């Protein structure tokens, strides 16, 4: 499983503000790149992976991952149930409507942790976004995100993620064959209505083998 080593971040809680600052600078100054437009040539299909007890990777244990095909050479996913301590409002101090918003930035996965992705529910396809499942769209487009945050209810049907998950070709299939993941249908309720009980970084820190 492809992942970056983030143990130092888990153990040093004072670095959380630095993470927020880095994400803010990336998004507002340099912008984020949208998912590859080449993926739009074929329909994107998605499924939810639910980590089984045998999966003890600290970035993925107890996680629910929305995994999509046709976004890269291998499957790409977003962990949907790992909120970070960083509030969305900290990333966007100039968006006044976020001042009273308590929503957090989510840990999307250990790959490119300084990139910003988001999922949004919409009745019609937004520009610069790909449909992950019925009525749910994935994007990394800065202008679209700022447009959504400017709404009267900025976080309505919106989740923002730092980083994503990724697998090499055939790697995820092997993990499923080993029983690390349970497969479920991807639907809006499972993504947006699920309880986020597994924060990141884990308060207990990474597990250590004995």
Q: Identify any residues that bridge with 111 across adjacent strands, giving them in sequence order.
A: 164
Q: Which of 141, 161, 16 is nearest to 80 (CA)?
A: 161
What would you report as the CA-atom Rg of the chain, rounded to the nearest whole angstrom? 16
Closest Cα partner for 184 from 64, 54, 57, 55? 64
pLDDT higher than threshold 80 for residue 42: no
Domain assignments of the chain as residue spans, ordered by start: 7-32+43-192
Token readout for 49 is: 């992976």
Binned at pLDDT 50, 70 and 90, residue 204 comes out as: low
Give the confidence band of 149 by pLDDT, cuts at 50, 70, 90: very high
Task: Examine the pLDDT at 197 and tell me if it is beyond 80.
Answer: no
The pLDDT of residue 135 is above 70: yes
The residues near 76 (Cβ < 8 Å, ≥ 6 apart) are 35, 67, 68, 164, 165, 166
- Per CATH, the number for 7-32+43-192 is 3.40.1740.10
Q: How many helices (H) and strands (E) does the chain have?
A: 6, 10
C-alpha 81/C-alpha 165 separation (Å) is 13
What pLDDT digit, counting tens, does each position of 158-173 carry?
A: 999 999 999 998 999 9
């Amino acid at each position: 499983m492809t992942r970056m080593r983030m143990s130092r971040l888990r153990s040093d809680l004072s670095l959380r503000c630095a993470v927020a600052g880095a994400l803010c600078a990336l998004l507002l100054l340099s912008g984020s790149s949208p998912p590859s437009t080449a993926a739009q040539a074929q329909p994107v299909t998605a499924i939810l992976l639910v980590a089984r007890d045998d999966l003890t990777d600290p970035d993925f244990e107890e996680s629910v991952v929305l995994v999509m095909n046709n976004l890269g050479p291998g499957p790409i996913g977003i962990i949907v149930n790992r909120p970070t301590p960083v509030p969305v409002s900290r990333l966007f101090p100039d968006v006044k409507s976020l001042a009273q918003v308590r929503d957090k930035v989510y840990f999307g996965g250990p790959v490119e942790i300084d990139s910003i992705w988001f999922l949004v529910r919409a009745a019609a396809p937004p520009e610069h976004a790909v449909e992950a499942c019925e009525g749910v769209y994935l994007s990394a487009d800065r202008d679209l995100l700022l447009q959504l945050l400017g709404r009267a209810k900025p976080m309505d049907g919106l989740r923002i993620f730092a980083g994503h998950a990724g697998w090499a070709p055939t790697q995820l299939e092997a993990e499923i064959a080993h029983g690390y993941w349970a497969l479920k249908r991807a639907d809006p309720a499972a993504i947006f209505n699920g309880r986020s009980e597994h924060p990141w970084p884990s308060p207990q820190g990474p597990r250590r083998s004995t």
